[in-house]
Amino acid sequence: MKIFKYFSRYKAGCVLAPLFKLVEALLELFIPIIVAKIIDDGVVGGNGQAITYGVLIMVALGVLGLGFSIAGQYFSAKTAVSYSSDLRESIYKKLMGLSLLQTEKLGTAKMITTMTSDVQKVQSGVNLALRLLLRSPFVVLGAFIAALIINVEIAIIFATIIIVLSIVVVLIMKITMPKFSSAQRTLDEVSLVARENLTGTRVIRAFGVENKEKDDYLKKISALEKMQNNAGKISALLNPLTFCVINLGIIALLYFGGVKVEVGALTCGAVIALYDYMSQILVELIKFANLVVSISKALSSGKRIDEILSIEEEKIDAKKDVKNSAFIEFKSVSASYGGGEVLSNIDIKIEKGQTVGIIGGTGSGKSTLINLIGGLYTPKDGAIYIDGKDVSSMTDGDRKSYVSIALQKPVLFKGTIKSNLLSANPNATESDMKRAIEIAQAVDVVKGKENALNSVVEQGGRNFSGGQRQRLSLARAIVCNSQILILDDSSSALDYITDLNLRRAIKNQGENQTVIIVSQRTASLKDADKIIVLDDGKIVGEGTHQTLYETCEVYREIEDSQKMEDGE
Residue 267 belongs to domain with CATH number: 1.20.1560.10
In a domain, 315, yes or no: no
The stretches of 38-113 forming alpha helices (DSSP H) are 48-97, 100-106, 108-113
Q: What is the pLDDT of residue 314?
A: 64
> Looking at the 3D structure of the chain, how many domains does it have?
2
Do 102 and 177 reside in the same domain of the chain?
Answer: yes
Mean pLDDT calculated for residue range 367-377: 82
Do 523 and 450 reside in the same domain of the chain?
Answer: yes
In a domain, 314, yes or no: no
Residue 437 CB contacts under 8 Å (≥ 6 apart), including other chains = 443, 445, 446, 475
Do 403 and 498 reside in the same domain of the chain?
Answer: yes
Task: Give yes or no for residue 315 having a pLDDT over 90.
Answer: no
Please report the DSSP string for 148-212 in residue order: HHH-HHHHHHHHHHHHHHHHHHHHHHHHHHHHHHHHHHHHHHHHHHHHHHHHTHHHHHHTT-HHH
Task: Give yes or no for residue 70 having a pLDDT over 90.
Answer: yes
Do 337 and 266 reside in the same domain of the chain?
Answer: no
Domain boundary among 263, 280, 309: 309
Q: What is the pLDDT of residue 510?
A: 63
In a domain, 481, yes or no: yes
Domain boundary among 261, 276, 309: 309
Do 121 and 207 reside in the same domain of the chain?
Answer: yes
In a domain, 318, yes or no: no
HEC string for 151-165: CHHHHHHHHHHHHHH
- Looking up residue 563, the CATH number of its domain turns out to be 3.40.50.300
Bridge-based pairing state of the strands 530-535 and 538-543: antiparallel
- Reported confidence tier of residue 324, pLDDT bands at 50, 70, 90: low
Task: Give yes or no for residue 565 having a pLDDT over 70.
Answer: no
Task: Give yes or no for residue 71 having a pLDDT over 90.
Answer: yes
Q: Rounded distance, CA 249 to CA 499, Å? A: 84
What is the radius of gyration, based on Cα positions, of the chain? 35
Q: Determine the residue type at 305.
A: I
Domain limits for position 123: 2-309
Q: What digits encode the pLDDT tens for the residues 16-27? A: 998 999 999 899
Q: What digits encode the pLDDT tens for the residues 42-58? A: 777 778 888 888 889 98
In a domain, 58, yes or no: yes
- Cα torsion angle, 117, 123, 128, 133, sign: positive
HEC string for 393-441: HCCHHHHHHHEEEECCCCCCCCEEHHHHHHHHCCCCCHHHHHHHHHHCC
Q: What is the pLDDT of residue 554?
A: 85
pTM above 0.85, yes or no: no
- Reported confidence tier of residue 74, pLDDT bands at 50, 70, 90: very high
Q: Rounded distance, CA 14 to CA 8, Å? A: 9
Do 73 and 203 reside in the same domain of the chain?
Answer: yes
Task: Give yes or no for residue 564 having a pLDDT over 70.
Answer: no
In a domain, 206, yes or no: yes
In a domain, 320, yes or no: no
In a domain, 451, yes or no: yes
Domain boundary among 279, 309, 339: 309
Do 135 and 45 reside in the same domain of the chain?
Answer: yes
Do 92 and 224 reside in the same domain of the chain?
Answer: yes
Q: What is the pLDDT of residue 20?
A: 92
- Reported confidence tier of residue 568, pLDDT bands at 50, 70, 90: very low
Mean pLDDT calculated for residue range 294-319: 76
Q: What is the pLDDT of residue 19?
A: 92
Please report the DSSP string for 481-547 in residue order: --SEEEEESTTTTS-HHHHHHHHHHHHHT-SS-EEEEE-S-GGGTTT-SEEEEEETTEEEEEE-HHH
Do 305 and 332 reside in the same domain of the chain?
Answer: no
Do 336 and 305 reside in the same domain of the chain?
Answer: no
Do 96 and 158 reside in the same domain of the chain?
Answer: yes
Mean pLDDT calculated for residue range 425-430: 85
Of 199 and 35, the one with more pLDDT: 35
Do 500 and 378 reside in the same domain of the chain?
Answer: yes
Task: Give yes or no for residue 516 having a pLDDT over 50.
Answer: yes
Instruction: Look over the chain and give the mean of its residue pLDDT values, rounded to a whole number.
Output: 82
Q: What is the pLDDT of residue 68?
A: 92
Q: What is the pLDDT of residue 319?
A: 55
Q: What is the pLDDT of residue 320?
A: 55
Q: What digits encode the pLDDT tens for the residues 125-182? A: 889 888 888 888 888 888 888 888 888 888 888 888 888 887 887 787 778 777 877 7
- Reported confidence tier of residue 100, pLDDT bands at 50, 70, 90: confident
- Reported confidence tier of residue 236, pLDDT bands at 50, 70, 90: confident
Q: Determine the residue type at 164.
A: V
